[in-house]
Amino acid sequence: MSMSLETMLQLSIILPLLATIGIVATGRNPNLRESVTITTSLVLLYFVINLYQGLLQGENISVTWWELLPGLQISFSVEPLGMLFALIASFLWLITTVYAIGYMRSHEEQNQTRFYTCFAIAISSVMGIAFADNLFTLFIFYEVLTLSTYPLVTHAGTENAKKGGRIYLGILLSTSILFFLLAIISTWFVAGTLDFKPGGIFDSNVNKTVAGAILVLFIFGIGKAAIMPFHRWLPAAMVAPTPVSALLHAVAVVKAGVFTVLKVCVFIFGIDLLAVLPSTQFLLYLAGASILLASLVAMRQDNLKARLAYSTVSQLGYITLGALLATSAGVMGSSMHIATHAFGKITLFFCAGAILVAAHKSKISEMRGLGRQMPITMAAFFIASLSIIGVPPTGGTWSKWFLLMGTIETEQLILMSVLIISSLLNIAYLLPIPFHAFFSGDKMSSSSAGIKEAPLPSLIALSITTIGCVILFIYPQPLYELAKAILAT
Amino acid sequence: MLTHLPILQVIVPLMAAPLCLFLTRARLVWLFALIVSGLAFLISSLLLQQVMTSGTIIYELGGWDAPWGIEYRIDQLNAFLLLIISAISTVVLFAADTSIRKEIPEDKHTLFYILYLLSLAAMLGIVATGDAFNVFVFLEISSLSAYALIALGKDRCALWASYQYLIMGTIGATFILIGIGLMYQMTGTLNMYDLSIRLPEVEQTRTVFTAFAFVIVGICLKLAMFPLHLWLPNAYAYAPSIVTAFFAATATKVAIYLLIRFTFTIFGLSFSFTHLPLQMLFVVLGLLGIFVASTAAIYQTNIKHLFAYSSIAQIGYMIVGFSVSTVTGLTATLLHLFNHALMKGALFLALAAVVYRIGSSQLSQFQGLGRQMPVTMAAIVIGGLSLIGVPLTVGFVSKWYLVLAVIENGWWPVAVLILLGSLLAVVYVWRIVEVAYFKPALSANETVKEAPLTFLIPIWTLVLANIYFGIDTRLSVQVAQAASQSLFGVSP
């Protein structure tokens, strides 16, 4: 197939959108419908990998669609950070689709056509965010992502889902309109452009107070990064079916948030300017507080998905913190953490869903002894937990290493200890779950009789992501090279 | 023929109105009115094209030279308005036949179309004319037809609403007349262009200040600016649905036009904004309008009331943009004029479709409509998103310009307040979404079906326009910018 890279770039955004037509048209035949999704995600992955190879060969891939307002274009380009995000999202979409087939059917969920349709739109907007060439384009897809995931969060249609959806949309839409949009318009007013440029777009003699205020607006406004106190939407979104929580709220949506934070820090402010802004230190402490507090809250959750959600809030804090450190180690750690956390957390969510489907359990206290019936799931849970904690043999080791280096380099000793304490907390709230599943709870045997592993597609999916966690440890070079290239461009 | 376009714009619907009496069947009258409105739309498109390429068109009625004769003066500003009004009128009329059959008794149908055309002609007249007294004449025609149209509403409250509007509207019109009279006394002319030249010579007199005050207050009554908005919610809620759709999208726009015309062209920028604390006053009232009306909208149980209050809030945005009094600010106001017409046109037409099916616009009756009328409800959701100002809809474009204008002026707190105001829109729009999509249908409404095509076509024309002009902003932004630049005397 001789298709230009530019075409592939555009198709990676348009294709999932087109797939919605196929999904709706084949809505009556589930097997056909899911094959549309699988085929689309395979083709999408093929495109993204091609783009990746193009990027490695040093090709300059960019496309401009049209000018929406004078001087403000919808345009896309491929650069290492976006590539990293696109690779993760498109690969995990494929895996999640496989998982969802097992989960949605055995859970007998209603309105599956709507589910797969909204999912495809969300992926399209994730691609738009990943490849956006300017802040304006990014913002448009950021909002589309919020709206297209609302029906997914409220999928169940119950009173609870409605409440969760209200918080989800309320926080994400309010922060984006009130702070993010204001930050963008202010940037446009001060810098005269919104293009992502290496080294940033602000003049070196820009008023530091104004730029510092704009930075605060950005960090508050990018609600998807779930910095406390704007994190409440994430636990609220857990009313969604598990595949949604897995892909969107461990990978696509939250990573779109921290990805945007990284983009803004590196390509709008530039790390040189970022390091001297008066508000950076305050925001670093805010991120640190978010890491610690969310970990503490996570310890108190008995609902597995809620615990994982707070754990995500905490881990997102790492990425924001790394970006704000404004050093190359910080930025590299953050971008690698996008990948390693994605694989770790999606595995954990897959496990949570598998347990729900197979054993109908959502409370951690009920999972004692479950390791005997569901050994694969629980083993996967264990390995993924290690990755979140950041110990070998899992990928999380590398990203946390760089983040720690970043804090030491900049002599942020308080933040360094925050990272260490939080890792200990991670151990405390994650590891007991597989531990109790395998080694205690004989008395539960009577009630847990007859429980088997989750459906095969789900099991395959969670095995693949678990292996991914390990591969990222053994073979981190591609990830490392991409992360290193971000600041080199 | 082309040289007579300015007068044809007004005279065609004006003459067509009485002709309706000769047509016997209601269907025929509808078709006739639709064609007339379509013609008006065609004329206005031609006019806009002419103005954009070759500048202001001056047309002297009956060949009498101004200032003795009446002069029509079409520049970018009013060409833009003419296009908005005639376009919305045509799209709305498309659904009129179906809609009024359920809301207005058979024998009044012809009357309805006559009033509708008169109202259309009068609005076009107000905008097209270059003569201050002529403005008043058309204003009266438009008001009188509006009172009658509102009174046609099925609910008996319509009479009371119409009466309220009559009282307030008459006070407004009288104020405007007094203002125009005083201006005439001081300058001896009624031609707007002439006034703009002669007024500065006498601008430091108390009479001119008084005239200004009367005119502005009169106009503000007409445009339902907070706190002079009390007539609007009931008028919109109890009028026949089609009338609401037409008025919500056009009537207040005409009043905004008058405000801009009188302050910028006739009295002049320096008089309006330096001698009087108009800027301060309008920013505060505009913002108050946004917050008070949006909050009121949140608490409404009738969706027509809800969107009526939302309209008052949207007028607040236009007033804020106006009060910035820079090219960008005025561009934002004009853009929002256009964009808001598209949003409210779509929303009120969709409401008309709902009323057609379930006979009520109470929020509680919307339960389960997301399943039963999916196409109509989708239109309401998209219209609502546009109202909130989500990217890729027109609402985003106007918000972008408004916030930019405010920031350019250094009014940071106002920028925050504007954005905060649009969050209130999220709340009232989502109340509808939650009821329509999360609650089961009422037992009385179980058999409700999707609205007929005569509704869906015009509704979705406007909804798609909301998206189209949110993506391709060339037409709206260019014209708004050109109009605002010419009002400031800046050459583009």
Distance from CA of B424 to the nearest CA of A (A): 10
Residue B457 at interface with chain A, using a CB cutoff of 8 Å:
no
Q: How far apart, in whole angstroms, are the C-alpha atoms of residue A89 and residue A123?
A: 8
| A181 in B contact zone (CB under 8 Å) | yes
pLDDT higher than threshold 70 for residue B491: no
Q: Who has greater pLDDT, A340 or B451? A: A340
CA atoms within 13 A on the CB side of A425: 22
Residues B82, B104: Cα–Cα separation, whole Å = 28
C-alpha–C-alpha distance, residues A229 and A207, integer Å: 27
- Domain count for chain B: 1
Global confidence as pTM: 0.90
Gap between the Cα atoms of B487 and B334, Å rounded: 12
End-to-end CA, chain A? 30
Which residue segment(s) compose the domain that B335 sits in? 294-492
* A463 touching B (Cβ < 8 Å): no
Q: What does the alpha-carbon distance between residue B59 and residue B41 come to, in Å, rounded to a whole number? A: 19
Q: What is the mean pLDDT of residues B6-33?
A: 87
pLDDT tens-digit readout, B338-355: 999 999 999 999 999 999
**Mean pLDDT computed over B13-19:** 89
Confidence of residue B63 (pLDDT cuts 50, 70, 90): confident
Residues of B with Cβ-Cβ distance to A154 under 8 angstroms: 438
Chain A residues near residue B419 by CB distance under 8 angstroms = 177-178, 181-182
CA dihedral of A401, A404, A408, A414, whole degrees rounded to 10: -160
Q: Which residues of chain A have pLDDT under 70?
A: 1-2, 441-450, 489
Q: Which chain B residue is nearest to residue A210, measuring alpha carbons?
A: B412
CA dihedral B229, B231, B232, B237 (to 10 degrees): 150
Find the domain containing A478 and state its range.
5-488
The arithmetic mean of pLDDT across residues B60-82, rounded, is 83
The pLDDT of residue A66 is 84
How many angstroms separate the CA of residue B297 from the nearest CA in chain A?
A: 18
Whether residues A144 and B392 touch (CB distance < 8 A) is answered with yes
Which of B 183-202 lie inside 8 A of A, CB atoms? Answer: none
What is the 8-class DSSP label of residue B62? G
Total structural domains within chain A: 1
Residue B254 DSSP label: H
Q: How many residues does chain B have?
A: 492
Q: Confidence band (pLDDT; 50, 70, 90) for B492?
A: very low
Please report, for residues B99, B304, B366, B457, the alpha-carbon distance to residue B454 in angstroms, rounded to integers and kept in the order given: 9, 21, 21, 6
Q: What is the CA radius of gyration of chain A?
A: 21
Helix (H) or strand (E) holding A237: none
- Residue A136, both tokens: 């304006």
Average pLDDT of B6-20?
88
Is A154's CB within 8 Å of B389's CB?
Answer: no
Mutual orientation of helices A375-389 and A432-439 as an angle, nearest 10°? 150
Q: What number is the ipTM of this complex?
A: 0.86
Give the chain B residue whose CA is nearest to the CA of A165. B434
8 Å CB contact between A210 and A275: no
DSSP state of B191: B
Give the closest of B391, B400, B404 to A143, CB-based.
B391
How far apart (Å, rounded) are the C-alpha atoms in residues B352 and B304?
Answer: 9
The 3-class SS string of A259-274 reads: HHHHHHHHHHHCHHHH
The residues facing B60 across adjacent strands are: B71
Report d(CA B287, CA B226) in Å as an integer. Answer: 9
Strand partners, A77: A62
| Surface of A (42-101) touching B: CB under 8 A | 66, 68-70
Amino acid occupying residue B432: I
Helices (H), A266-412: 271-276, 280-299, 304-325, 328-359, 370-373, 375-389, 396-409
| Closest to A175 (Cα-Cα) out of A239, A237, A218, A236 | A218
Q: Find all residues with CB under 8 Å of A33, minimum gap 6, and list them.
A: A23, A26, A27, A112, A113, A116
Distance between CA atoms of residues B174 and B219, nearest Å: 10
Cβ(B36)–Cβ(B23) under 8 Å? no
Residues of chain A contacting residue B438, judged by C-beta atoms under 8 Å apart: 154, 157, 159, 161-162
Please indicate if any CB of chain B lies within 8 Å of the CB of A139.
Answer: yes
Q: What is the pLDDT of residue A447?
A: 54
Residue with tokens 């269907």: B27
Residues from chain B contacting residue A147 (CB–CB below 8 Å)? 385, 390
Is some CB atom of chain B closer than 8 A to the CB atom of A140?
A: yes
pLDDT per position as a tens digit, A469-481: 888 888 888 888 8
Minimal-distance CA residue of chain B relative to A213: B412
Query: pLDDT of B289-302, one tens digit each?
Result: 999 999 999 999 99
**Nearest CB partner across the interface for A182, out of B415, B437, B438:** B415
Residue B467 lies in a domain: yes
For residue A139, the distance in angstroms to the closest alpha carbon of chain B comes to 8
pLDDT reported for residue B38:
94
In a domain, B168, yes or no: no
Alpha-carbon gap: B472 to the closest alpha carbon of chain A (Å): 6
Which chain A residues are Cβ-neighbours of B416 within 8 angstroms?
Answer: 178, 182
Distance CA A250, CA A350 (A): 10
Q: Is residue B396 part of a domain?
A: yes
A182 with B419: Cβ contact below 8 A = yes
Q: Which residues of A touch B426 (CB under 8 A)?
A: 169-170, 173-174, 177
Classify the phi-psi angles of B230: left when phi > 0, otherwise alpha if psi is within -120 to 50, otherwise beta: alpha
Please, what is the Cα angle at A11 between A9 and A15, to 5 degrees?
145
Please enumerate, as own/partner, the contacts of B437-443 that have beta carbons within 8 Å and a separation of 24 or more. B437/A157, B437/B370, B437/B371, B437/B377, B438/A154, B438/A157, B438/A159, B438/A161, B438/A162, B439/B367, B439/B368, B440/B367, B440/B368, B441/B367, B441/B368, B441/B369, B441/B371, B441/B372, B442/B364, B442/B365, B442/B367, B442/B368
Residue B169: inside a domain: no
Residue type present at position A208: K
**Nearest chain A residue to B413, by CA:** A182
Taking only the tens place, the pLDDT of each residue in A180-219 is: 999 999 999 998 889 998 888 888 888 888 899 999 999 9
DSSP string, B73-108: EE-HHHHHHHHHHHHHHHHHHHHHHHHHHHHS-GGG
Q: Six-digit token pair at B340?
A: 């808001």
pLDDT of residue B276: 74
Contacts of A281 (CB under 8 A, 6+ apart): none
pLDDT band at B271, cuts 50/70/90? confident
The backbone region for B326, taken as left when phi is positive above 0, alpha when psi lies in -120 to 50, beta otherwise, is beta
Residue A365 in contact with residue A335, Cβ under 8 Å? no
Collect contacts of A162-169 with beta carbons under 8 A, ≥24 apart: A162/B434, A162/B438, A163/A236, A163/A239, A164/A236, A164/A237, A164/A238, A164/A239, A164/A240, A165/A236, A165/A239, A166/B430, A166/B434, A167/A232, A167/A233, A167/A236, A168/A233, A168/A236, A168/A237, A169/B426, A169/B430
Chain B residues with CB under 8 Å of A177 CB are 388-389, 419, 422-423, 426
Which of B415, B419, B471 lies closest to A68 in CB terms? Answer: B471
Taking an 8 Å cut-off on Cβ atoms, the answer to whether A178 and B416 are in contact is: yes
Closest CB to B423 among A178, A185, A186? A178
What share of chain B in percent tops pLDDT 90?
45
Nearest residue of chain A to residue B420 (CA atoms):
A178
Closest CA to B469 of B341, B381, B362, B351: B341
